[in-house]
Structure 1
């Protein structure tokens, strides 16, 4: 901070540019809950630190700090464990040329963490939400930005009404995909935005929250509706056939930052649009830098987030061991040109309003929902077929390993039988906490 020169549009566009010669790689981010087996409470920060210390000591990792606070562990292979705002543990893989390699990396590292957690009485739970705790049982991370974010969302009133649940209880398994040019970025982005609620219908998996059946298949998706809707939901600006990078810049620049970094610590940012901060400064004699812009882009959470990569965010996480299913589906659709074109044509009539309504419908009904004029199950079946076709083409071209195709099988089973991950969660829940933990934890 401290610069008095303002950012120019080329500076803002730079984060959306692909480096020359970029290859299409895949990254995964998988969040797991940290739950004490003896009382089903969320693990405290100190208990989570003990797990991270075990990772550092036993696996050659390096501590990740946020000021004076330990918040993660950087693994030798390039992946990173990070404590989320509400105490969940996220593993972010390095990027890999194949889905199969990315999934293997995540599996190995989560299994290692689960073994360490077991020694401390902690289970690593999977799915779309930590089902035992209510908002008042969240084990908040002590890093400064958590306090700033909670204050920001409280000030929004009803629009921030589920902020604590989003920050502290929900879990996801996200896929990061590459783009290789501005045109490629927009083509893939339009497809991912339109496909997001259809894919989410295959993954609904958070029917239990605060210890009770909610009556919805994805309570997690419902929570997102009251988490500052301005910066979440459907990225409708991407759906215009003439949209480009400048439209993405303008959309994000209309929003205020939540927090910024000053002297190594996160502090509240002025409640003004980012574009006004560029013109007038932050009010303390400083003006935004490119680092501020990138930090700002991490504070928006649409169904598909665009930065240096495309991140899919809408779907619940599936149970162990199917966390890689989403990466297989998304890469099969996005990385094979024929599959991408066919999927784009299939979904091309869907509007932003259709997709917004579909997100609400899917949260309650899953594959029985409608997406625009189409039954979600029909669209999902065709997307799965195209993803299998795309993965098979990549395997034939030597760009993917054959075992990636099998990652689609649990989704195909869900689509054919209409027996969702949420249905399995409810069955395990009905058998008691020990059975739930057995079925929905990373094995130690």
Structure 2
């Protein structure tokens, strides 16, 4: 993104609110964007490669450019790739991320993801690297994790320990899979936000896949989800106000304004950590006295909020651990089925509208620790999950988006139905292997679970 101090500064709070309204799209223009992260490791010793190593992350990026990806640079540093509306980017600890293009169907997403993983494998094989999809780095400590040379990450690394105990783990040792979806109006956004926020812990449980830390069980099925409970309370969590009667674009904008800043980006990143965007609007930001923000600054600030569901010009579903190739298409299928068919969306809201604030927060904590085990609002979590999947399946059937083989999108939910029926998360299955055939050797995970 190009930044220009000659751009029109934000004039009023209404301008900030209008940013979200500008994201509205009619149903025929709705798309789904899918993202997933994965850990790179050396096949020889399982260590995570640094950026500038001959077999490192920079070499991966350069190797991918043979497939038509164009480089994205910060100064002279290659930090990402772009192609046809998609990007490959770096998370702080070198996690390799595909941010897919906005696509019409889950079939399209699966094709895009498959092509990406094939390309990654070609380059990784040449470099002696492998990739694994789990929610939390299963073996390496923070100190053994490489740090990527990206300006915003340096600012975040310095700030995180001031506001929470696990923020550096979030940056360096977590991987997620995410789905991004559109809305037609403010009312549509509100309903989708409420449904997806209430059900985000169900997704956390279904995708829970991070039971190991530094080679041993950590007491969670999703250590990634637990990390977010002690990262930075100003910018994370379940956003109880979303369920208030007055929720809408304006309320979310007020929440975002109250979240301390990280940075301002111009020709480089300017450290504004802990400073106030409201002061910036008055020209009183200590990091840039006399300057006021542009709409690009507002868009940047919104990316530094990390609730379980995030609003930009679309809604981001942020509650799931990374996993194997077989589950990467399941997340966009789940949320597409729930949110893109009105009958399914209404049914999902009917399912959760009686949940209390305590229910939401209790379920979030339970999902990280026990997954599908336990009860919420008087029923087993696994039963709620099965209800959610049935609603999503009906929504996908109603969408009726067919592949070239005339198959709808419901098949992508198959593995999730198996998980819900068993009551055992992917993490539970990994723990069974750890205590069984792996005989306590976490290194076996890298062989069994690699792409």
Give the TM interval when normalised to the shorter protein: over 0.9
Partner of 2:39: 33
What's 1:223 paired with? 227
Note if contact 1:361-1:370 (Cα within 8 Å) is conserved in structure 2. Answer: no
Q: Are positions 1:330 and 2:330 aligned together?
A: no
**1:356: Cα distance to partner?**
1.6
Partner of 1:149: 156
Cα distance between partner residues in 1 of 2:47 and 2:402? 48
Q: 1:350 aligns with which of 343, 355, 361?
A: 355
- Contact residue 10 and residue 295 of structure 2 kept, 8 A: no
Q: Does residue 94 in structure 1 map to residue 90 in structure 2?
A: no
SS for the counterpart of 1:331 is helix
- Return the match for 1:8 from 5, 12, 36: 12
1:115 deviates by: 2.3
User: Residues 163 and 280 from structure 1, CA distance in 2 versus in 1: closer, same or farther, beyond 3 angstroms?
Assistant: same
Partner of 1:235: 239
Choose 427-436 or 113-122, whichever is displaced more: 427-436
What is the CA deviation profile of residues 124-176 of structure 1, one whole-angstrom value per residue up to 9, with x for unaligned ones? Answer: 110212211111111100112211111111222xxx21111100110111000
Number of the residue aligned with 1:266:
269
Per-residue CA deviations over 1:154-210 (Å, capped at 9, x if unaligned) read: 222xxx211111001101110000111111111111110111112211111100112
Q: TM-score, normalised by structure 1?
A: 0.93
Conserved 8 A contact 1:362-1:369: no
Q: What is the distance in 2 between the residues matched to 1:258 and 1:356?
A: 26
Counterpart mapping for 1:72-111 below 5 A: 72-75=80-83, 77-111=84-118
Does structure 2 retain, via aligned residues, the 8 Å contact 1:27–1:94?
A: yes
SS for the counterpart of 1:151 is helix
- The corresponding residue for 1:436 is 445
Q: Is the partner of 2:179 in helix, strand or coil?
A: strand
Q: How far has the Cα of 1:281 moved from its partner?
A: 2.6
Candidates 251, 254, 276, aligned match of 2:255: 251
Q: Contact (CA 8 Å) 2:397, 2:408: kept in 1 or not?
A: no
- Whole-angstrom CA distance in 2 between matches of 1:435 and 1:401: 39
Residue 5 and residue 409 in structure 1: after superposition, are their counterparts in 2 closer, same or farther (change >3 A)? Answer: closer
Is residue 365 from structure 1 mapped to residue 370 from structure 2 by the alignment? yes
Q: How far 1:260 moved relative to its partner?
A: 1.2
1:396: how far off? 6.9
What CA distance in whole angstroms lies between the structure 1 residues aligned with 2:392 and 2:227?
Answer: 29
Asked whether the 8 Å contact 1:98–1:400 carries over to 2, the reply is no
Distance 1:302 1:390 in 2: 25
| C-alpha contact (below 8 Å) 1:197/1:371 kept by paired residues | no
Three-state SS of the structure 2 residue aligned to 1:197 is: helix
Question: Is contact 2:401–2:408 with CA below 8 Å preserved after alignment?
Answer: no
How big is the shift at 1:304?
A: 0.3
**Secondary structure of residue in 1 paired with 2:372:** helix
- Pairwise CA distance, 1:27: 0.6
What is the number of residues matched between the two proteins?
A: 436
Q: Would you identify which runs of 4 or more consecutive aligned residues in structure 1 move more than 6 Å?
A: 396-401
Report the CA distance shift for 1:288/1:374 in structure 2 as closer, same or farther (over 3 A). Answer: farther
The 1:401/1:302 distance shift into structure 2, 3 A limit, reads farther
SS of match in other structure, 1:34: strand
CA positional deviation for 1:427: 3.8
Structure 2's unaligned 5+ residue stretches are none
What are the Cα deviations for residues 327-384 of structure 1, in whole angstroms up to 9, with x where unaligned?
1111101001101101101100123332122111111111113334442111111000
Structure 1 SS opposite 2:363? helix
In 2, are the aligned partners of 1:63 and 1:73 still within 8 Å (CA)?
yes
Residues 144 and 265 in structure 1, CA contact (< 8 A), matched pair in contact too = yes
Q: Distance in 1 between matches of 2:301 and 2:358?
A: 26
Q: Structure 1 unaligned runs (5+)?
A: none
Deviation at 1:279, TM superposition (A): 2.5
How far apart, CA to CA, are the structure 2 residues paired with 1:395 and 1:357?
Answer: 35
1:398–1:320 Cα change, 3 Å: closer
Range with bigger deviation, 124-133 or 264-273 = 264-273
Alignment partner, residue 205 of structure 2: 201
Contact 2:190 2:247 in 1 (8 A): yes
Matched, 1:65 2:73: yes
What is the TM-score when the length of structure 2 is the normalising length?
0.92
1:114 paired to 2:118: no
* 8 Å CA contact retained: 2:51, 2:147: yes
Q: Does the CA-based 8 Å contact 2:105-2:401 persist in structure 1?
A: no
